[in-house]
Structure 1
Amino acid sequence: MKTFILTLLFGFVLISCEHKRDVKTLRKLFNETNYDTAVIQSTPLYDSLKNIIISYIDTIFKFRNSRHFVYHGDTGKETQEDADFYNFYYNYGEATSLSYGTGPNDQKLIDEVSVENMPTFIYPSVDRIFKQLGKDKILGFTLWKDSTIEITVKSFYREKENADVGHILVWKRIYATNIDPDFFYRDTLIAPKWTYQIWVDDHQGF
């Protein structure tokens, strides 16, 4: 009986320690978060970036696949494996934002997310558009094998609400309509095949 009571008390402690979303605060912030007109007006630049990427998608995947090695803990070896998507994020002069520490594997980790990790003859055109848009309108993008492009326009932390806010542009892929009132996400079509998404959620702590 004593063991049962201790187990029950431990269960209550675990439940009480679970994080509970502040839905009311998140909903208020979500309702106050609007689409950025400057982003919408920059659609031609995003479209130019998309055209470059799609023109060379096979070359980009071949380049990144050849450098994509996965470590297998059971064998202690790395093997080359093709991936379904790759991330390409811009530095904007802040090296630590693409680094995960100061260890010997940092360069590899940076390469996994750096926009510079693409064929050298493609990068200058991509770099030029990133500079035209600036860090307030593009942080990076994810390129999928099916040619979907997800551009992270901006992502920031709201300390007052302890919440994360994200603005994303998606080319090609269409997501299901959100019908969950406590899942704070909405999108709108701003041009053919271009969807503008906004989301708000609890801060994830990283």
Structure 2
Amino acid sequence: MPLPHSPRLTPPRPWSPLSDGEWQALLPHLARDLPQGRPLRDARTRMNAIFHLACTSGAPWHALPARFGKPDTVSRHFRRLTHAGLWGRLLRALAEAPADHPLRALESWICRAARRAHRVLGLGLVLLIRRLGLRSALRAPPWLLPDPLLSETLARLPSAVANSFGPRGGRSRTGPFRSLRHLLRDAAGRARIPRAVALGWP
């Protein structure tokens, strides 16, 4: 498994309409997922809507201002982009981009949109985010979420468990077995994230 990138938290950025430069930085990653024949103006408006809602933690789609169009239309567009892999591509690009890359100006918004995409993609997106180290894209603190980096440790546990048996076949109640329970719990993450924790996560 590749080594993870250095983890980082992205400072939040208040929403504002995409500038021409920001749209041009975003467009190469987005172009393959745009419906054929759809004006780019409409696509830009929908991305503005997605980022607007992403900056409003926990807000439902119907809370979108009317100027962005029908909330159901924007919601369907978001799900289509999510299933097409847009947020994963953008997160990978952010993880590799230098600090002065134009896409980095959108990092806060992309990370927050990825939090909403987790509702569609589930664990697979969480694993990608943890490996990339973009903690702001997680929907809660990382110690409450599944940890793919424990997989190698868990894979080595059978030998540790075997060594815990003494010459008379006894075993330690507080040795590797207790560690195994803790590792399994940490690797699986919390089944439910308290809403207050999710909304308070930067």
Q: Looking at secondary structure, tell me which structure has more helix per residue.
A: 2
Task: Work out which structure has the larger RCO, using CA pairs closer than 8 Å and 6 or more positions apart in sequence.
Answer: 2
Same fold, TM-score > 0.5, yes or no: no
